Structure 1
Amino acid sequence: MEPGGRRAARGPGGMRVALAGLTTRGRSFLAAGVSAGVCAYVLGQQDLLRVGLLLAALPLLCAVAVHRTRHRVTSSRGLTPARVPTGAEARVRLRVDNVSRLPTGLLMLQDRVPYVLGPRPRFVLDRIEPGGHREVSYRVRSDLRGRYPLGPLELRVADPFGMCELTRSFAAHDMLTVVPRVEALPPVRLGRGALGFGDGRQRSMAVAGEDDVLPRGYRYGDDLRRVHWRSTARYGELMVRREEQPHRARCTVLLDTRRAAYLGAGPGSAFEWAVSGAASVLTHMLQRGYSVRLLTDAGSQVPGEAGAASGGAGAGTAEAAGLLMDTLSVIGHSDGEDLTPAQEVLRRSGDGLLVAFLGALDEEQARTVARMRHRTGGALAFLPEDEDDAEPDFPVGAGAAVAPPDAERVLREAGWTVVRAPRGASMAAVWRQADQQRAGLVDGGERR
């Protein structure tokens, strides 16, 4: 890579490569020149020899010029933005610079892009003056989340006479990340527990600045008013009082990725809705000061155990959101058959709010999910809805069924708030529905 983000072309060198790039016209001129030279030697005609030398030299000179030009052309690619939601467009800008002292010939550009992003863009550029540059751009979009490489860029250089054409590929490429669509959620309260109303941030501010009884060694810049004299006398060195770390409200989003719970693919599938819903909830809670983590049925969590123990992704909203969205952009189905691994993770560290996006459940799996409620401060489950009560409204995996009434009853008896989500439903709508349902349960409990 050259300075300023420019990427120099790469390819084998030597006159053999240059001669291999001769076009039919160039080869014809070269053959005519050699034939004229042989005839001039046999006939003793010097004028014919001069013509033959001219015919043979022209394609050779063009090949040398083109070979040199392609090594003196650099390119750069700009991707704006590098992370886009499904269905949104990203703009790719290509810049080609001529860093040689000679003008280029006709340039043909082709950027490699995955099929899901559309056809390969092709451009034809006129000659570029010495030290000049040309810029072109194109757009890409995808309805499927994932990470897609852009490049490498292919460059075909031709001389003005059409004697020689050489193609070479630029080494570097960029990565476009297509993340799940995130829907803005309203700040609602589910009963006495706040969901997305900012209580986590208020709680953090309430205890910030309180002193911990455990002292630590003095560091340069510490306020001398925080010196703990009793510990200083005890340890024989200057000690100061610690500041207690602020408490952050926590939220765990459980995403069921079992292959047996879903069937079908594409933007309209139930699994993609669950992934998009998880992304919406994670973003919503992060924006309101919660420390969040993503947990799958296989027991994997983002951030990892160390990050979750130290406050998780709440340390930086932008960085946390990027990490979670990158994970959700490539998450796929698991081969697991139950949710026991996730239950074990929550048993060790299951405090805080729990929001689950579940696929098809039988009664035994529902009991496993019900046990996850024990250590959480609140539990909310989104289940796919069977519209006709006979046939599921979305494709369901072989051997799996939409959560039966018994499974839903098990979750409700364990204290879960269960919301049925129709296919293609707005996440904001089901979020409000969860608020209304929980509020009704709390009011009914108080009346009793």
Structure 2
Amino acid sequence: MISPLWLWPIWLASILLLCLFGGSTALRALLVLLPLLLAASAAVSCLASRRISLRLSSRELAPKRRGVSAELSVKNDSPFPLMQLRCHMTLENRLTGEQFTRLVAVSLPPFSSRQVSLSIGSRHCGQILLSTGRVRAADFFGLISFPVAAKGRAITTVLPNTFPLRLLTGFLNLSLEESEEYDPARAGEDVSEVHQIREYREGDALRQIHWKLTTKYDNLMIREPGRPIKRSLLLLFDLRRPAGSSPHPACFDAAAEAAVSLSQALLDEGIVHTVAWETGDGPIERRTVQNIDDLTMSLPGALSGHGERIPGTEQAGELFLAPEYSRIFAVCVGRPLSPPPGDRRTTVLCCTDRPKGEDDTPSDTLIWFHPKTYPDELGNLIV
């Protein structure tokens, strides 16, 4: 195949000028040999293109704005040199819907391989799909190219940043006694369970003194109360695009940061919770988050977007009716989810970049936030 087409007129015009103004015999001989050289170069590229293999790899997780690090490995198994391999790299953010392309060119001797390091910046978080789009092997002159069947693919997740989020006591403290599990690493306020016994330190409450052990060891000993592990809170990531609308990519980025910051704030308070998200064509995924590692492992799925949210087909309605959750937070973009009428345990956090209207007044069950001011708007949340 001839590619790119605009090179041919330039090449033919150059030959014509040389024929008109070039007077040397050597130059004329070279002009006669040019078609043969072009044919030979094209034949070598065609043969080499049949035995090219590609492999694309990247890190599973990457910080935002520092770039997605990837490596493209190219191997030439043919006895012919690979003069020009043109690989159009495609980067797709599945959360925001953004797509970018980048051209990578490489040449290889016969029976050799080469690794090309790539760093692609990402302004927004989300699951990133890296793939090799159109791959062609071109001749020495860049006039004729041939398709290469080999393809590469890799997935990485750009992590969101977080911001301080203060949790205000509300519904959740009413269900402390329902938990039968206690945090082995942190003390709490449940005096019915002992976290640990230690020596008295300045500032400890006198009611925590363990008098029997104090008498036995002749030193003030303190009984630290336990911290119940609560699993009755659900955090729903619904980061799909509402049908018929196209929110700005910054909205998805802000919603993801809000959801992850809320989950992190819950962990800081010792609140074990469940995160959930809808998959593209399957059931709702649920993960129990007990520590920051559990949260990180959930993000590749939660930040994958999964296309459009079509009204009337949300599986989230099943979660809103689930009796095992005493508190539910749902984070969405563009259009708020609709809990059942009279539901007071669910709070919907919805990110939008459009001007707020009369119907956008925040309430106890619906909080709007903007992608530029969300840290201030969500600084305090009642749990």
Q: TM exceeds 0.5?
A: yes
Name 1:4's counterpart in structure 2: none
- 429, 433, 439: which is aligned to 2:380? 433
Q: Does 1:113 align with 2:113?
A: no
Q: Which has the higher contact order (CA 8 A, sep 6+)?
A: 2
Aligned to 1:402: 360
Q: Any idea what the Cα deviations from partners look like across 1:372-400, whole Å, max 9, x if unmatched?
A: 42xxxxx655467xxxxxxx983469xx8
Aligned runs of 1:144-159 on 2, under 5 Å? 145=126, 147-152=128-133, 154-158=135-139
Q: Percent identity?
A: 14
Distance 1:371 1:135 in 2: 54
Q: Count residues in correspondence.
A: 306
Residue in 2 aligned with 1:371? Answer: 343
Partner SS for 2:112: coil
Q: Give TM-score scaled by structure 1 length.
A: 0.49
Alignment of 1:20-419 (within 5 A): 64-79=43-58, 81-84=59-62, 89-101=67-79, 104-113=81-90, 116-123=98-105, 125-126=106-107, 128=109, 130-131=111-112, 133=114, 135-141=116-122, 143=124, 145=126, 147-152=128-133, 154-158=135-139, 165-176=144-155, 181-185=160-164, 188=167, 190=169, 193=172, 203-205=182-184, 249-254=231-236, 265-269=247-251, 273-285=254-266, 290-294=272-276, 302-303=284-285, 312-314=287-289, 318=293, 321-331=296-306, 334-336=309-311, 342=316, 345-357=319-331, 368=340, 370-373=342-345, 382=349, 394-395=354-355, 401-403=359-361, 408=363, 411=364
Alignment partners' CA distance in 2, 1:114 and 1:192: 43
Structure 1 unpaired stretches of 5+: 1-16, 18-22, 29-53, 195-199, 207-245, 305-311, 374-378, 385-391, 439-448
State the alpha-carbon separation in 1 of the partners of residues 232 and 360 from structure 2: 30
Hey, what's the Cα distance between the residues in 1 that align with 2:370 and 2:34? 75
Structure with higher helix content: 1
The unaligned stretches of length 5 or more in structure 2 are 2-6, 13-32, 93-97, 174-178, 186-227
CA distance in 2, matches of 1:92, 1:433: 38
Q: Deviations over 1:403-432 (max 9, x none)?
A: 37xxx3xx4xxxx7x7664663244x4554
CA distance in 2, matches of 1:138, 1:254: 32
Q: CA deviation at 1:90?
A: 1.0
| Larger-Rg structure | 1
Question: Using the alignment, how far apart are the partners of 1:419 and 1:426 within structure 2?
Answer: 11
- CA RMSD in angstroms, aligned pairs only: 5.5
In structure 2, distance between residues paired with 1:100 and 1:85: 39
Distance 2:109 2:132 in 1: 22
Q: TM-score, normalised by structure 2?
A: 0.56
Bigger mean CA offset, 312-321 vs 254-263: 254-263
Structure 2: distance between partners of 1:92 and 1:76 = 10
Q: What is the Cα deviation at residue 290 of structure 1?
A: 1.6
